[in-house]
Amino acid sequence: MEQLSGLDASFLYLETGNMPMHIGSLAIYDQSTAPGGAVTFKDILRFFEKRLHKARAFRQRIVRVPMSLDHPYWIDDPDFDLEFHVRHIALPKPGDWRQLCIQTARLHARPLDTSRPLWEAYVIEGLDNVAGVPEGSFALVSKFHHAAIDGVSGAEIAAAIHDVSPEDKVEPPANDWQPERFPTGAELLARSAVTTVKKPFEFGSLALRNASTAWRLGRGLLSKELELTTKVPRTRFNGNVSAHRVFDGRSFSLDEIRAIKGRIDGATVNDVMVSVCGGALRQYLDSKGELPEESLVAMAPVTARPEEMRKAAGNMVSTMSLPVRSDIADPLERLRAVHGESERAKKVTRTMGASLLAEMAHFLPSTTSGLIASAYGRYGLAKRLPPMYNTVVTNVPGPNFPLYSMGSRMVANFGLGPIGHGLGLFQPVIGYNGQITVSAISCREMMPDPAFYCDCLSESFEDLKKAAKQPPVSHSKPKASRRLAEDKSARNKKTTRKKAAKKRSAKGTRD
């Protein structure tokens, strides 16, 4: 039995009927590479069953402390049922991309059952008319609660059900799995009493460790070496979200993205994709007559996970406040500005320390956090308080080579993530096998036309690619030309001085 960290538990406290707090993916597989050229649902169940030992999140469920006096605990579920978690459905005819997006959005909108391990996987057949997808392909929509994983640990779970070849290669567990005994309320309260005694000392230790951090941050802000993003415009994405979701996504070439970033010294793939999102938001909001003069601001999650804990479950993240420069029309200038904003945001994060947010979350009061989240939505505080962000843009790097699951080659992978009151647009950027996908997950009332927004993403990318191919504009002149220009400027100044002198002389004569 292991207690959830404060950051992990916060995702449980934040969850309401309109705000399910899970992340996941939509992956598409070509089953022609599987042994025999096809896989059955029973094959898929057997495949998952052989890999359950590779990630603890598969069989762990939460147990809440009576009266919510402390953060919940993870235990191995004594009633684990694989067929509850892996399900099988099919798209209706004709089975095109739009239908797949609608089905994915509906599945993503449903909260997970917190009385069971917090994940589900839906095998979806009938993708007969999805453009660019091999015949007979199927999709897998996966959902894992954010309390169990973040982007990095989620990638580790994805690795548990993927291989680098179609062959089913998996090491058996060292020991047979044995579920835990369900703890009694008295046992949980006793553990909570010990935790309560320790917390003041732990908080004091945290304050001492970060005293120098606070001093460096304050000094940097006063000296203007560090800059915080303080002005965030209000948009349609900053209200209360409904229980309904929309989803769509687009795929871009990694080679083309690398060629684009080469035009700006020091720019990264992430800078390019944030700039593309900024251009799409500019076009989308402008089409609605809602484009603010100020740049929209993205929350950009940053991993705080040390190398030795890369395979650990749970959340170890911090966040950056990153303007997407939707206020700049020129795509190349927008990329240059985004790169500068990113460097400034990284400098602030390095000064604060990436793990500070996760450590502070440990001291959130378990009895009040959920009430605050519920009241935030019930009383419409998202519309009354100043917004902190307009969207989430999160980058999850993936392998640049093909992966196989259930013997089937993955041909595409799109991310899924949560939205909430005051932050109604989530845009995961996922890298895989020479492609970068960008998804848009939003509330149906905020974004009734996700396909149009994704068209804006495509147009923003094409505009940036076209601008990057233009020869760079030289702002310096050859020496001879520069000398001629300087001589001309000097002559003009001399002529101006002579005319001024004549005017003063004529004025004196008249007087």
Three-state secondary structure of 146-184: CCCECHHHHHHHHHHCCECCCCCCCCCCCCCCCCCCCCC
Domain that holds residue 293: 224-368+386-395+419-469
Asked whether residue 344 is domain-assigned, the answer is yes
d(CA 308, CA 311): 8
Give the SS3 label for residue 48: helix
User: Pick from 468, 26, 501: which is nearest to 247 by CA?
Assistant: 26
- Which pLDDT value is given to residue 25? 95
What are 301's two structure tokens?
């999650």
How many CB atoms lie under 10 A from the CB of residue 167?
10
The tally of domains found in the chain comes to 1
**What torsion do the CA atoms of 383, 388, 391, 395 make, to the nearest 10 degrees?**
-160
d(CA 398, CA 298): 22
Indicate the residue type of 471: P
> Partners of 435 in the beta sheet?
253, 432
Asked whether residue 254 is domain-assigned, the answer is yes
Asked whether residue 35 is domain-assigned, the answer is no
User: Pick from 459, 460, 453: which is nearest to 285 by CA?
Assistant: 453
Low-confidence ranges of the chain (pLDDT < 50): 475-488, 490, 493-494, 501, 504-511
Indicate the angle between helix axes 6-14 and 366-378, nearest 10 degrees.
Answer: 40
Q: What is the pLDDT of residues 423-438, one digit of tens each?
A: 999 999 999 999 999 9
Contact call for residues 354 and 302 (beta carbons, < 8 A): yes
Asked whether residue 444 is domain-assigned, the answer is yes
Asked whether residue 312 is domain-assigned, the answer is yes
CATH code at position 427? 3.30.559.30
> Partners of 409 in the beta sheet?
30, 404
- Which pLDDT value is given to residue 464? 97
Asked whether residue 458 is domain-assigned, the answer is yes
- Which pLDDT value is given to residue 511? 40
d(CA 406, CA 161): 8
Asked whether residue 146 is domain-assigned, the answer is no
pTM here is 0.84
Asked whether residue 325 is domain-assigned, the answer is yes
Contact call for residues 68 and 370 (beta carbons, < 8 A): yes
